Structure 1
Amino acid sequence: MNVLIVGAAGYIGGAIATAAQRAGHEVAGLRHPGGHTLPEGVKAVDGDLTDAASLTIAAKGFDRVVHVGPPLGEETDLAGVDALTASGVPVIYTTGAAVLGSEPSDEDTDPDPHPLIRWRAEAERRVLAAGGQVVRPGMVYGNGGGLIAGLLAPKAAEQGVGVYIGEPGVRWPVVHAEDLADLYVTVLDRTEPGIWHGMSETVRLDELAAALGEGRTASWPLEEARAEIGGIADLFVLDQQISSTKTRNHLDWHPAHTSLLDWLRTQS
């Protein structure tokens, strides 16, 4: 297929672009003037997430659009979704675990989004109504990016201990970037609307902190974390148990990386 990736120059989008090319697809990436360099072999298509009309034009002629661009706010994000679906091209839209609440949940659970990204549940609804797909990744790691490499590991190095925000015991779903990219490639073949969970396992954030701090941990008070990293700190106290069983069974998706803590040991 001929696939346009919104966010192809980013961490997740770059992995998807590589996996899609490997699977034999022609891949293009949305790029605004002065934007980041796209991965090798990815054709640049002019467009800007803040200019909805440009997105409709950019999507025309493609077989699929994969949207893994960053959230920019309710008005901009919803206008962008509407513009992409208006092209008539099926859209694969990315939200995340935070669109669900703290109760045990799966692909069929109604969204209960965290206030930080409350509008993304509406974005999901619009994409599905237009015949598209929704992918909800867990925390993505591996390939040198993500919150672990960009925030948690540097914080552990700075403090001399692994840190977790708030109270111990909070659980998060996680997934390796390459496993997630393989899931997107599988979803490209879907023709009916669906919600898919890109989550290989659930980890306790205090146990992740222990792995990063060589057994030493400390709580990072929520107020202090908010002052340093902003509202995203509130997501770190959201305890989540999210199943990906439906995704695995329906799409025959089998992540190769099934233990984040074991993976961390191989990085040292």
Structure 2
Amino acid sequence: MSSREHRLDGGTPTVLVTGATGFIGHQAVHRLLAHEGRPRLRLLVHDRDVPDCCAAATAVVRGSLTDPASLRGVCRGVGTVLHLASVITQDPATAHAVNTAGTEALLAEAHRSGVRRFVRLGTAAVYGPGPHRGEPAPSGRPLSVTSASRLAGDRSVLAAGGVVLRPYLVYGAGDVWLVPALVQMITRLPRWIEGGRARLSLISVDDLARVTAALVTRPAPLPVSAVLHAAHPRPVVVRDLVTALCRQLGLPLPRGDVSRADLEAHLGGPADADLVRRFAQFGTDHWFDSSELWSLAGLEPGPGFAEQFAACAPWYREHLRDPLPATASPAG
């Protein structure tokens, strides 16, 4: 992959997509298939079946990010790699194998095949506890095994001249992380953390897929070694977020306040440090400037959170069951 050139070939390009069977991936593939001048798609799949909505007009190749030999040839004839695959885990060996070494193996194959554009989906969770208030380039201070391994993979992509997209919190049909985590929080601690005043960057999975598809099919060059924050331009106040969730899902609103400093006592001490950290992130500003991404994609953002969440609330009401496992983190 050339770090000097990120131009798509003339004619219909071929885009290799990893993670196409995931929450964000299958929506991105759906958007690419519907895109004007639809690119040829090649899906790198490990051990899942390809959803029906992704099967049309695509080629499927089997391989594993943890097995570099299985990746040989997957990028042959490809102009763009859209790397959406990752793993959320507390096991350091697995996180490194997929998120760090797996990304490096895919980059090496892309370089061998002459791929000119490499876009990776990361996470703004790599920036750590905050507060973050729109600063252009926060320092990486990952607090979880998953985020540390993803940051290491990001650095390899940026060193090779690629682009890293970093959403913070993603919601919509198929979400098994964010809203289940919020339901768990409201049930476990029905209080406003720091008055519910914190502002957070959110993006619907539909908007994320839409802007990602537009970015990777953009005819003009992309910036080299760029981090692009992926969010709706308007941050969401936690009180508004939780109020909308409770209204749509029939949950009682929190009552009373608790400070971040007192979270451990309210959660029952000695509390699990990871649990306290996950609750605390909803009491601190985490919002990021996404204007460059929307400009490069040539798109206007969709409606705000309240309208988009109302549209996907029926899916949550149908599918939401048990709260998030204690080891998971909605921001990765």
TM-score by shorter chain over 0.5 = yes
**Structure 1 residues 163 and 43, CA, compared in 2 at 3 Å: closer, same or farther?**
farther
Question: Do the aligned residues in 1 keep the contact of 2:172 with 2:309 (CA within 8 Å)?
Answer: no
Q: Residue 139 of structure 1 corresponds to which residue in structure 2?
A: 169
Percent of matched pairs sharing the same residue:
23
Question: Do the aligned residues in 1 keep the contact of 2:103 with 2:153 (CA within 8 Å)?
Answer: yes
Alignment coverage as a number of residue pairs = 262
Q: How big is each residue's C-alpha offset from its partner over 1:230-268, in whole Å with a ceiling of 9 and x where there is no partner? A: 9477345233121112223343332113x2123334546
Q: How big is each residue's C-alpha offset from its partner over 1:32-85, in whole Å with a ceiling of 9 and x where there is no partner? A: 24x233323243211112223323542333221111112351344221121111
Structure 1 residue 25 corresponds to structure 2 residue 47: no
What code does the residue aligned with 1:46 have?
Answer: R
> Unpaired runs of 5+ in structure 2?
1-12, 88-93, 315-332
Q: Secondary structure at the match of 1:77?
A: helix
Question: Do the aligned residues in 1 keep the contact of 2:165 with 2:228 (CA within 8 Å)?
Answer: yes
Q: CA RMSD in A?
A: 3.3
**Structure 1 residues 30 and 250, CA, compared in 2 at 3 Å: closer, same or farther?**
closer
1:1-268 mapped onto 2 (5 Å cutoff): 1-23=13-35, 24-33=38-47, 35-38=48-51, 39-41=54-56, 42-71=58-87, 72-87=94-109, 88=111, 89=115, 90-101=117-128, 102-104=130-132, 106=134, 108-116=136-144, 117-153=147-183, 159=187, 167=194, 168-188=196-216, 189=218, 190-193=221-224, 194-200=226-232, 201-214=234-247, 216-217=253-254, 231=274, 234-238=277-281, 239=284, 240-257=286-303, 259-266=304-311, 267=313
Runs of 4+ in 1 over 6 A off after TM superposition: 227-230
**Structure 1 residues 105 and 62, CA, compared in 2 at 3 Å: closer, same or farther?**
farther
**Structure 1 residues 74 and 4, CA, compared in 2 at 3 Å: closer, same or farther?**
same
Deviates more, 1:83-92 or 1:18-27: 83-92
Deviation of 1:123 (Å): 2.0
Q: Secondary structure at the match of 1:213?
A: helix
Q: State the TM-score, normalized to the length of structure 2.
A: 0.67
Q: State the TM-score, normalized to the length of structure 1.
A: 0.81
Q: Counterparts of 1:69 and 1:209 in 2: how far apart (Å)?
A: 29
Q: How big is each residue's C-alpha offset from its partner over 1:142-167, in whole Å with a ceiling of 9 and x where there is no partner? A: 234253454435776xx4x9957954
> Unpaired runs of 5+ in structure 1?
none
Question: Do the aligned residues in 1 keep the contact of 2:123 with 2:166 (CA within 8 Å)?
Answer: yes
**Structure 1 residues 70 and 122, CA, compared in 2 at 3 Å: closer, same or farther?**
closer
Q: Counterparts of 2:207 and 2:34 in 1: how far apart (Å)?
A: 14
Q: Counterparts of 1:230 and 1:6 in 2: how far apart (Å)?
A: 33
Query: Which structure dedicates a bigger proportion of its chain to strand?
Result: 1
